[in-house]
Amino acid sequence: MASLKELKNRIGSVKNTQKITKAMQMVAAAKLRKAQEAAEASRPYSDRLNSIIINLANSMSDTAGGPELLVGNGKSDTVLLVVATADRGLCGGFNTNIVRKAREEIVALERAGKTVKLYLIGKKGYDQLNRLYGDQIVEYVSLKEERSLHAGIAQGIGEKITAMFEAGEYDVCKLIYSQFVNVMQQDAVSNTLIPAMAALGVEDETPGEHAADDVFAPDLNGAIYTYEPDEAGILRVLLPRNINTQIFSALLENQAGEMGSKMTAMDNATRNAGDMIDKLTMTFNRTRQAQITSELIEIISGAEAL
Query: Active-site residue numbers?
Result: 91
Residue 91: C-alpha distances to residues 24, 88, 195 (Å):
10, 8, 33
CB half-sphere exposure, 82, CA atoms < 13 A: 25
The amino acid at 227: Y
DSSP β-bridge partners for residue 119 = 82, 139
Q: What is the distance between the alpha carbons of residues 268 and 21, in angstroms, rounded to a whole number? A: 9
DSSP β-bridge partners for residue 118 = 81, 137
Taking a C-beta distance cutoff of 8 angstroms, is the pair 180, 256 a contact? yes
Sign of the alpha-carbon dihedral angle for 237, 239, 244, 246? positive
Residue 205: C-alpha distances to residues 51, 63, 209, 212 (Å):
16, 8, 7, 14
- Helices 94-111 and 123-133, axial angle in degrees (round to 10): 40
DSSP β-bridge partners for residue 188 = 178
